[in-house]
Amino acid sequence: MTLFRQLYDTPTRRFTYLIGDPDSREAVAVDPTPEGIVLPLLAMVADFGLRLAYLLCTHAHEGEATAVPLMQSRTGARVVAGERAPIAADRQARHGDTLTFGNEVIHVLGTPGHTPACLSYLWRDRVFTGHSLLIRGCGRTDLTDGDAGTLFDSITLRLLMLPGDTLLFPGHETHGRTVSTIAEEREHNPCVAGRSRDEFITHRSSR
């Protein structure tokens, strides 16, 4: 049975995800960014006898602390990030790319707006949206070359177009929720539900 684990870092309110293929023992981690997640994540990888093939970064901010280089040096995994993301990537991925590990395939979705290089990753019926689409929220657009109109397009034309029962696993959460679905966010996400692109941009710039 394919292994899937969600980890939460309390100080940064960020999620990290581990996906492991039991046959090949290959695994990927999505956003192993918080320093506090390194030891629990490495323990989990060791307990399951896995080898990390990829560290998938949804995004990065210039100058922000990140445990990704430490995880890279500790595991030998290849770092994947969007083009021009401010992180030392072994592979720059683009919308439409696929990544394989073991018997598993991950589809790369370009979801810029929070940053120009934001990516989301689709694995089976699960999408990892970083800080682009959150549970009942979305990423800020007033940092690091954020752009509200671009974010609206990414959310509505790329993420909310996925099948409704796709499980949404965000990169950040402050209200204790751990998962949502695309159908739920289409209906209940206050950033975009019933809101036009212009209204979204106006609301973002007024914050």
Bridge partners, residue 104, by sequence: 101
Q: Which two tokens stand for residue 99?
A: 């990544």
| 207/167 Cα distance (integer angstroms) | 29
Q: What residues from 45 to 104 belong to the interface with its own copies (CB under 8 A)?
A: 47
Contact segment (CB under 8 A) with its own copies among 5-13, 19-27, 99-107, 154-162 equals 5-13
Q: Which two tokens stand for residue 147?
A: 């752009």
Q: What residues from 146 to 205 belong to the interface with its own copies (CB under 8 A)?
A: 165, 175-179, 184, 187-188
The single residue among 2, 5, 145, 156 that binds its own copies, judged by CB under 8 A, is 5
**8 Å CB contact between 47 and 30:** no
- Element at 199 (helix H, strand E): helix 197-205
Taking the least distance from each CB to its own copies, the nearer of 40 and 116 is 40
Q: Which two tokens stand for residue 179?
A: 């998962």
Taking the least distance from each CB to its own copies, the nearer of 40 and 149 is 40
Q: How many CB atoms are closer than 10 A to CB 50?
A: 23
Alpha-carbon torsion 33, 45, 75, 129, what sign? negative
The single residue among 1, 63, 73, 206 that binds its own copies, judged by CB under 8 A, is 1
Taking the least distance from each CB to its own copies, the nearer of 161 and 193 is 193
Q: How far is the CB of 178 from its own copies (least distance, A)?
A: 5
Q: How far is the CB of 148 from its own copies (least distance, A)?
A: 25
Choose among 122, 135, 132: nearest CA to 56.
122
Taking the least distance from each CB to its own copies, the nearer of 5 and 61 is 5
The 26-45 contact track toward its own copies, x by CB under 8 A, reads: ----------xx-xx---x-
The single residue among 2, 13, 107, 145 that binds its own copies, judged by CB under 8 A, is 13
Taking the least distance from each CB to its own copies, the nearer of 8 and 107 is 8
| 10/22 Cα distance (integer angstroms) | 29
The residues, ordered by sequence, that sit 6+ positions from 141 with a Cβ below 8 Å of its Cβ are 113, 114, 147, 148, 151, 204
Q: Tell me which residues touch its own copies (CB under 8 A).
A: 1, 5-10, 13, 16, 36-37, 39-40, 44, 47, 165, 175-179, 184, 187-188
